[in-house]
Structure 1
């Protein structure tokens, strides 16, 4: 076991600082960390600390405050056996209310695939502020009793259509009456012609003219 510890080499643990966290109550943000087999220049505002690599590595994250939940998104144990190796870890960090959160990061080196610990870092803490969620503006729902201009227009058009139909029916009555009267007169004249009574009956004619 001593030989395994002596075979470890200096590596680099890189993680996000509070400036990179944008925590909002009710929303989730990603917290990332990585281990390299050799020192690398930090990316952006990330922070670094020296660790012992060259073994099976595990990085754990614990979260406290503001009803926060941390959900791992990567395998907890990964290999960093050579100086060119690099392993990455990430977590969903979701606070439920505004306030302060503390993220506690710890890296552990294991002997091969066993649970025998070769090296473990002291807890690394990151503190961040959780902001309130922005209020969402909801559009009011129209009340069912409110007047609807569109329905009033449709009702007015329908009433005009009914009035037009009534007027058409009224205007059509005299024409129908006159047409029936002309048909009756034509039938009588045809009957007289067929019987040879061309002179007709003056009394009958007078009655027809009076109709």
Structure 2
């Protein structure tokens, strides 16, 4: 992409391919995802697609990594907006998910979930994402475990949403997230005297 095209906001061929792969995977499922269909939808030649992604698995990994990058960016923005607290990392994680919940944005494209089930090695980007979150927590703070509880609550809510198995309505999910925010915010309060 030329610098002029970048300034105009036109997506690069790589980005168009990633968006096309998500759309095709949602339509036909990753098992039936063909590089030809993705190339056609992205408006690039198959050779152009292979230049960026030499295999179907490389393309699916890139879609997963892009999804994770978007989550991390949302979490960083939410974390930066937090008032000083004992655990802005956990509060940012909660708020990023709450914003996604309110925008009704989808989680991992359903077609990608099937690919994960077929090829467990594709889970590695998610494992790295989770490791990075845990590494950012300050274990010297009191009750750092509360931040981990918040992480597990958010990730569990995501899983339920992805699989369409969440028994709560949107307002109830927001209430749960608000309760988690309060719990994380209480980390610095001294324990009551016994």
TM-score bracket for this pair, using the shorter chain length: under 0.3
| TM-score (normalizing by structure 1) | 0.22
Give the structure with the larger helix fraction.
2
Give the structure with the larger strand fraction.
1
Which structure has more relative contact order (CA 8 Å, sep 6+)? It is 2
| TM-score (normalizing by structure 2) | 0.23
Bigger CA radius of gyration = 1
